[in-house]
Amino acid sequence: MVTLNGTLGIDDFKHVLFDQQSIQIDKNVLETVEKSFEFLKTFSENKIIYGVNTGFGPMAQYKIDDSERQQLQYNLIRSHASGTGNPIPSLYVKAAMLARLNTLCLGNSGVHKSVVELMAQLINKDITPVIYEHGGVGASGDLVQLAHLALVLIGEGEVMYKGEKHNTEDVFKTENLQPISIHLREGLALMNGTSVMTGVGIVNTIYTRQLLNWTITASSAINEIVKAYDDHLSFELNQTKKHNGQREIAELMRAHLKDSTLIKKREHHLYNAVQNVTVFEDKVQEYYSLRCVPQILGPVLDTLNQVETILIEEANSANDNPIVDVKNKNVYHGGNFHGDYVSLEMDKLKLVVTKTSMLAERQLNYLLNPSLNNILPPFVNLGKLGLNFGMQGVQFTATSTTAENQMLSNPMYVHSIPNNNDNQDIVSMGTNAALITKKVIENTFEVLAIELITIVQAIEYLEVKDAVSSKTRAIYDAIRAIVPVFKEDVVMYPYVNAVKAYLMNQKG
């Protein structure tokens, strides 16, 4: 059980999203929400409060009669539930719901407590609104996408329930749920914020960490099976560089290779005597995709840690407008809904994930090209050369997918387009940034799946499965349980998809 008490951490998101833990709202939090609502209700009397008794955006210059306040909120929700494109997967929507619920629980939004209570019920019952990819410009936050969340809370729209799409009204009847009632600004408070980009972004960080761990595994295994020298991973060499990420990657790779009998020590081969030869048969130094892994993945790790910090800070922030301050007995108008923090971090994340896919693609090419590795047949073909093709076909997929990542890694952060009668004259495009990053991460899992299948085929050809490290042997066994040894050509796409699913589903 995860208790919402004002602070959510990355592990809380993991527990709710991947471990299906339920949530409960701390009693003190409910009291805070109630106090915020009652204060705003009293404070807004005889005052002009944006979104309570005014129109929205450039229509804020129009005062709304008291008799029409509730209808104003319903109009806002219904008119902005205008998303198009593909539905965002339920896992990411659930993350967005948790992020939105958490910010409402801070007591800076002035919503009725029924809002947070119903949202908690929906999360616990795994009922997620149907929210579409297209529509958010990232300021005033995720207006369009969050309108689809608000639409469900008023009992309208559609939800995903037990794996299928249903009308919200029908599911509420089945589960005996009551829609919220609009009191003051529940529509605007639900919609005016960064919770979709933040929720998607947090899931992105969780998957990126898994992706990074698998990339370390693959990189270690390749160094091992080609009998690379180990000094590029040494503590001493990497300690001369001041970056924590590089040092940690090298340490993880050393741990992976600790009990390998294949990795070589330079002092045993090149330092013990001067050989009377002019050309060395073995490479003195490995290609960069093998030798520079700590320097390449170190920035990925450091960036990921920074992105995760910013995303969790955003999830624990009040990010709507206006902000209700019960302590100082005031309401402040501003722009906390602006998603630039998330947008920038998502662009940074997709850059380093794209670089990760490029590393995997180059390592794959190294294994497939006998002119580079000098120990494996072309395309790690275990069958008859010329008649069989080995991993030749799937290399095209890895290359194509990596190229798509390179194109997608262009930044959204600087792609502001003014809209909303130029009221929103500079926006973040943070939701687009988060969703494109999601695509880049999924693509990279595909490239890595192809690389790992190739690695185990190479281990098979070299007959070294009993000589590799215990960690490499474990991944060999795991992939072999999905992809049997093949010499004859087989249809590869089901195996690639199955390995990708395995890699994404392994938590830890």
Confidence of residue 282 (pLDDT cuts 50, 70, 90): confident
Residue 295 has pLDDT above 70, yes or no: yes
Specify the pLDDT at position 288: 87
Mean pLDDT of 177-195: 93
The pTM of this model reads: 0.95
Specify the pLDDT at position 415: 84
Specify the pLDDT at position 315: 96
| Identity of the amino acid at 186 | E
Q: How far apart are CA 249 and CA 184, in angstroms?
A: 52
Closest CA to 376 of 298, 291, 455, 270: 455
Confidence of residue 270 (pLDDT cuts 50, 70, 90): low
Answer yes or no: 62 catalytic. no
Q: What are 238's two structure tokens?
A: 């990497």
Q: Tell me what percent of the residues of the chain surpass a pLDDT of 90.
A: 82
Residue 215 has pLDDT above 80, yes or no: yes
Confidence of residue 262 (pLDDT cuts 50, 70, 90): very high
Mean pLDDT of 37-60: 88
Confidence of residue 504 (pLDDT cuts 50, 70, 90): very high
Q: What are 446's two structure tokens?
A: 């595909």
Mean pLDDT of 62-73: 88
Instruction: Look at 300 and 415; give whichever has higher pLDDT.
Output: 300
Over the chain, what is the mean pLDDT? 93
Residue 394 has pLDDT above 90, yes or no: yes
Q: How far apart are CA 382 and CA 244, in angstroms?
A: 41
Mean pLDDT of 368-391: 95
Mean pLDDT of 266-270: 67
Residue 289 has pLDDT above 70, yes or no: yes
Instruction: Look at 418 and 160; give whichever has higher pLDDT.
Output: 160
Q: How far apart are CA 264 and CA 267, in angstroms?
A: 9
Whether the link from the prior residue into 140 is cis, omega within 30° of 0, is yes
Specify the pLDDT at position 460: 96
HSE-CB for 118 with a 13 A CA cutoff: 24
Confidence of residue 65 (pLDDT cuts 50, 70, 90): confident
HSE-CB for 330 with a 13 A CA cutoff: 4
Confidence of residue 146 (pLDDT cuts 50, 70, 90): very high
Q: Tell me what percent of the residues of the chain surpass a pLDDT of 70.
A: 97
Specify the pLDDT at position 462: 96
Mean pLDDT of 205-219: 98
Confidence of residue 273 (pLDDT cuts 50, 70, 90): low
Catalytic residue, chosen from 50, 74, 132, 287, is 50
| Identity of the amino acid at 398 | A
Residue 377 has pLDDT above 70, yes or no: yes
